[in-house]
Amino acid sequence: MSFERTDILKFSEVINNDTYIRYKNLEKFDNKVVIIRKVPQFNYKRQILKSHIELFYEKIKNYETIVFDDCEHIWIDSWIELLIMLNKADKNIILTTFTIGIKFYLDKIIPNNKIHCNTIQSIFQNHLYPYASAFYKPIGFLRKREYLLKFFSYNRTPQRDYVVDFLLKNNLIENNNISFHNFPFETLGDELDLKTANHSYCFYEADEMLKNVDFKSLNNLRIIPKSENFNIENQSKQIENNSDASFNSYFEIITEAQMPFSKDPSNSLHYTYSITKRTLIPLLFGNVFHIMPECKLFENELTNAGFQLFFKNDEDFLNNLNEDFYFNSETQYKIHHNHNLLNELYAGRTEYEMFILQKIEEIYNIKFDTK
């Protein structure tokens, strides 16, 4: 049974467990709203059996609103039939995934749907919480910094391999704030089977992205600067060191946890991109950033929210990767604009309402009071 490990949770229990804010009357919606976690994430295009989907549908069909929580949705093709069935039954559907590009794909596959997807504003609020104190410190955008370029990669993914290969071929590794741990691979070497270690490498779309990448060099590469001499599984230390590195670098490459493998608008992998602290940190600490690999939908997500970009393409980035570009007046205007916009829209909100709660209030036109 494909859904045997999937959790079906009460609305009130999830909200009470996930926030320290106490709300009144959440229990009144337990018979209307259900939270689904641990949806099976099968390999891309491997379909879940229709019979398994129908059995799971029977378990949740009596609720008005179904929330799919903590799913990354890169494998959404395998269970999209469940979303179609729920939509046909006129259910409200909420997806909390940080892979926000998937909304564009769902709008194509399920037109006129009632699916509520996460927003860049909500995601920013969630990820900014550990950095709230940074808004009250002088950043000093005009001060000299030690490193020209920063790019941190703790885990191997196709998109990060693409970037590190780019850095190697353009002689940008030495004397920059670059890390490449090859983590979590303990055994390195020419014969490292990435497709076994990480099934993100199994897509033929990933093969196209990586067709010119020198895997032999990457498989034997391990770069750990002194600034990262700590246990990389320590999340709080990651945040601290990552912030310090950005504060001391002029330029930063943004390669998100999920980036599109496909250039085909009919392919769900075209819409798989995320918004995380990897995007927020350059905005917060005054870095000139470049997005790699190219993702127009991701760029549009930022510009639609009011943020300004710096480069047209990789060549433009390479041609302007210097201190003079960082300090020129147009660049400084964009740096300040992005930082101020981030501060205006998201900073200082030590309390923010959960995305799920916001959507329930919106759907039912109510406002939950706090105790």
105 and 131 both lie in a single domain: no
Residue 315 shares a structural domain with residue 201: yes
Q: Output the pLDDT for position 21.
A: 82
Q: Which domain holds residue 38?
A: 7-118
* Residue 34 clears pLDDT 60, i.e. is over it: yes
Convert the pLDDT of each residue in 41-96 to its tens digit.
776 667 889 999 999 999 999 999 999 997 766 678 888 999 999 999 999 999 99
CA angle 348, 359, 357 (to 5 degrees): 60
Q: What is the pLDDT of residue 158?
A: 92
Per-residue pLDDT at 270 exceeds 80: yes
**Which of 118, 145, 175 is the endpoint of a domain?**
118
User: Are residues 266 and 160 part of one domain?
Assistant: yes
Q: Is the pLDDT of residue 189 over 70?
A: no
**Into how many domains does the chain fold?**
2
pTM, full prediction: 0.87
Query: How confident is the prediction for the chain on average, in pLDDT?
Result: 87
Q: Does residue 349 have a pLDDT over 70?
A: no
- Domain assignment of residue 38, yes or no: yes
More confident residue, 42 or 314: 314
End-to-end CA distance of the chain: 41
Question: Do 61 and 88 form a contact (C-beta atoms < 8 A)?
Answer: no
* pLDDT tens for each residue of 135-157: 666 667 778 999 999 998 877 88
Report the pLDDT averaged over residues 178-193. 71
Q: How confident is residue 186, by pLDDT bands cut at 50, 70 and 90? A: low
Q: Which two tokens stand for residue 124?
A: 């920013």
CATH code, 29: 3.30.750
**Planar angle of CA 264, 120, 89, nearest 5 degrees:** 70
pLDDT the model gives residue 78: 85
Taking the C-alpha atoms of residue 269 and residue 265, their distance in angstroms, rounded to an integer, is 9
Burial level of 159, CB count in 10 A (0-12/13-18/19+)?
buried
